[in-house]
Chain A
Amino acid sequence: MSALNSKPVRYLLQVINYTVFMALIWYFSTSPSVRLIGENESLLTIAFAHAGELREPCRKLSQQELMKLPPNMRKPEDCPRERSPITVEARLDGELVYSETMQPPGLFNDGSVDIYFSKKISAGKHRLEIRMDDSVRNPGFDYVFERELSIEPAHILLIEFDPLQGFILI
């Protein structure tokens, strides 16, 4: 015990303790590493924001109804704000990989819906089909995207949507 209490021994023990502490910090600050994607894998991502069609069509107001309104509020059409839910389906090589129906957010259910879907897929050639129904007034899917694709390992296959162009491959 007395030998352990001598200053040189104590300093040596401190150096050992600090070394162990720093080794612990160094190791866990970078290790063990995490493999996020397999060597022959890539990522399919569908990401976009879209507002569904209005649930009810705009209605033309009658002359009588217009006259009841204050002069500054006499808009000829009454458009209910509530929008349709959005249904998106994605099939990869014929297999359904994503299917979701989302209600529009907001107090009046009039907001746009954010869609984000991501899935690891094998690299190489695939057939991708995406369909979206954004109107309760038009039965069936309003937008359809079908494409034969080839994707390289570790790449992100990103699909976005534009109301004018439909689904876009980025």
Chain B
Amino acid sequence: MLVNPVKRVYLALESWFNISFGTEWNPLYHLGTLSFFLFWVILITGIYLFIPFHGSIDGAHASVEYITHQQWYAGGVMRSLHRYASDAVVVTILLHMFKEFASGRYRGFRWFSWVTGVPNLWVVVTLGITGYWLVWDEMAQYIAIGSARLVDALPLLPGAMTRNFVAGEMTDRFFILIEFLHLLGQPLVLAFMLWLHVKRLSDVKINPPRGLAVGTLLALLALSLYKPALSHAPADLTKMPEVIHLDWFYLNIYPLLDIWTEGQVWIFTLGITWLLMMLPWLPPKKDGPKAVVDLAHCNGCELCFDDCPFDAITVQARTDGMKFDKEVVVNPELCAACGICAGSCPSSNPFRSRNEELKTGIDMPQLPVDKMRSQTREAIAALSGETKILVYGCEHGLNVSRLEDDETKGVRLICSGMLPPTLVEYALKNGADGVMVTGCRHNDCYYRFGNRWVKARFAGERKPILRGRADRNRIRVHGAAETDKNEVERDLDEFRAELAKLKQAEATAAENDGAGGNS
């Protein structure tokens, strides 16, 4: 099966970080929370820097120089942390976008998170630009004039803003405006945009794993001590700065003004923004049919409500007159059609209605639990050989049909999280020697929580649990991406060997029991 080259690059990067950090600390699995963490670093260091900062033409640069040099051990480090964490957040945001793009997690039901996420990059960049203005050094002079040229090119404001940056025209009021923007206006806009960005997600985390946070902070601290952030010479509106050591994470647009007109720069930046915003519809992706509630089989237990990763399920008072207090309702606008809810429903029990259609409280029209059961039966019936293994996989991880041979058959689900634990028990009871569950790589479920819920249910930590009577030695969980076929095959061979030993031990025990009984 072909994996697109962009995704292949991403998966290779992800594999490397899994080797370096493990799946729990892999920074690629925590880019959002890592960005939040960096925002905290920026906020705390920013508050410290604001105290000695003097917002005036004569005072700004001098106060920043004081912070940097006279107080290098505190203010200087804070300034460097402020700057480098700001640069790092651009990297984490860009990587976050790349990851979601490469994994195809920006289309269909995810359009909202993508479209509300793209403007965050621009809010962060403009926040950085106003931050650099405040230093009022030669670079600030350069970007102030560049920004003014860009604003002047818009038919929004009368007059030439650029004229404010000629000698003698500038006043301290300029700093009041920029301070207001940098310290209050832009952070508030950013906070609102971030809230909007995660609005359609449940169980949103904003803190990265402690180890990753500590490692990132230590790395930033080391860089701050080794290469402290410095200013250029003070701004002088009678002189043209000759050389600028530009921060390319934030100020990359300004050199374009040397080769293009202001209008061309606007068309370029707005064009890129428009293209990014439109990506979910280039081409559009149609989600599968949404989850459907069958009140006749729903007792309002709320497990699906707890497990839904996209807040698509709500609980309300019972409307059908049955003896239960509550019922669940699916919001099709928010539903990702992942089927995790079907896996969490206690009614999705294949031991029920053995000889008739299995109906459950909440189900997926494209792959109902009844169909999962019949596919399981068919796959088991097709197994032959010494050690029969049934592999459940998902649509976004490794395609399990690639693992099939006489002794191995696969059942492909929408998400591994839609697998009811009782179906694993059912497979073991009905002829499978072992069951392997794949799905996306651990901590990187396409539907956020699918493989996490599988592990928790099998470990008995989350309802519906895998019952104690299911032999854990016959069950294996191995998260795998599309490119991980070899690793899964290796694990499958190991699993098969273990199952063979288990079978042999059971046969020996049975023989011994028989012999004991005979004697």
Q: Please provide the chain B residues from 225 to 239 with a CB less than 8 Å away from any CB of chain A in the complex.
A: 227, 229, 237-239
Interface SS of B by simple majority: helix
Q: Given the complex, which residues of A lie within 8 Å of B160, measured CB to CB?
A: 47, 49, 114-116
Q: Given the complex, which residues of A lie within 8 Å of B168, measured CB to CB?
A: 170
Q: Given the complex, which residues of B lie within 8 Å of A99, measured CB to CB?
A: none
A33 in contact with B163 (CB, 8 Å): no
Interface string of A32-75 (1 = CB under 8 A from B): 11111101011101011100000000000000000000000000
A79 at the interface (CB under 8 A from B): no
A18 in contact with B215 (CB, 8 Å): yes
Q: Among the interface residues A24, A28, A160, which one has the most CB atoms of the partner chain B within 10 A?
A: A28
A26 in contact with B227 (CB, 8 Å): yes
Q: Please provide the chain B residues from 197 to 247 with a CB less than 8 Å away from any CB of chain A in the complex.
A: 215-216, 218-220, 222-223, 227, 229, 237-247
Q: Please provide the chain A residues from 83 to 113 with a CB less than 8 Å away from any CB of chain B in the complex.
A: 105-106, 111
B91 in contact with A47 (CB, 8 Å): no
B91 in contact with A24 (CB, 8 Å): yes
Q: Please provide the chain B residues from 128 to 154 with a CB less than 8 Å away from any CB of chain A in the complex.
A: 142, 152
Contact A37/B242 with A26-B227, A28-B87 known, Cβ cut-off 8 Å: yes
Q: How far is B244's CA from A170's CA once the two chains are assembled, in angstroms?
A: 25
A114 in contact with B244 (CB, 8 Å): no
Nearest Cβ in chain A — how far from B12, in angstroms?
14
Q: How far is B167's CA from A170's CA once the two chains are assembled, in angstroms?
A: 8
Closest chain B residue to A36, Cβ basis: B241
Contact A47/B166 with A10-B20, A26-B223, A33-B245 known, Cβ cut-off 8 Å: yes
Q: Given the complex, which residues of A lie within 8 Å of B87, measured CB to CB?
A: 25, 28-29
Q: How far is B216's CA from A37's CA once the two chains are assembled, in angstroms?
A: 38
Contact A14/B21 with A33-B244, A34-B255, A36-B244 known, Cβ cut-off 8 Å: yes
Q: Given the complex, which residues of B lie within 8 Å of A22, measured CB to CB?
A: 84, 219-220, 222-223
Contact A25/B84 with A33-B244, A36-B240 known, Cβ cut-off 8 Å: yes
A136 at the interface (CB under 8 A from B): no
Q: Please provide the chain B residues from 166 to 204 with a CB less than 8 Å away from any CB of chain A in the complex.
A: 166-169
Nearest Cβ in chain A — how far from B494, in angstroms?
13
Interface string of B79-90 (1 = CB under 8 A from A): 000011001100
B215 in contact with A14 (CB, 8 Å): yes
A114 in contact with B159 (CB, 8 Å): yes
Q: Given the complex, which residues of A lie within 8 Å of B91, measured CB to CB?
A: 21, 24-25
A30 at the interface (CB under 8 A from B): yes
A13 in contact with B20 (CB, 8 Å): yes
Nearest Cβ in chain A — how far from B387, in angstroms?
24
Q: How far is B106's CA from A78's CA once the two chains are assembled, in angstroms?
A: 64
A128 at the interface (CB under 8 A from B): no
Closest chain B residue to A114, Cβ basis: B160
Q: Given the complex, which residues of B lie within 8 Å of A17, measured CB to CB?
A: 17, 20-21
B158 at the interface (CB under 8 A from A): yes
A30 in contact with B238 (CB, 8 Å): no
Nearest Cβ in chain A — how far from B131, in angstroms?
12
Q: Please provide the chain B residues from 247 to 298 with a CB less than 8 Å away from any CB of chain A in the complex.
A: 247-249, 254-255
A165 at the interface (CB under 8 A from B): no
Partner among B84, B162, B222, B237 whose Cβ is within 8 Å of the Cβ of A156: B237
B22 at the interface (CB under 8 A from A): yes
A4 at the interface (CB under 8 A from B): yes
Interface residues of A (CB under 8 A from B): 4, 10, 13-14, 16-19, 21-22, 24-26, 28-37, 39, 41-43, 45, 47-49, 105-106, 111, 114-116, 118, 154-156, 158, 160, 170
Given A17-B21, A155-B238, output 18 extra A-B contacts at Cβ < 8 Å: A4-B19, A10-B20, A18-B218, A22-B84, A25-B223, A32-B246, A32-B248, A33-B246, A34-B244, A36-B241, A36-B244, A41-B240, A47-B160, A47-B163, A116-B152, A154-B239, A156-B166, A170-B166
6 pairs across A/B with beta carbons < 8 Å? A16-B20, A17-B20, A36-B142, A36-B242, A39-B242, A106-B158
Interface residues of B (CB under 8 A from A): 17, 19-22, 83-84, 87-88, 91, 142, 152, 158-160, 162-163, 166-169, 215-216, 218-220, 222-223, 227, 229, 237-249, 254-255
The 10 closest A-B pairs by CB, nearest first: A114-B160, A13-B20, A18-B219, A30-B245, A116-B160, A22-B223, A114-B159, A28-B248, A116-B162, A47-B166
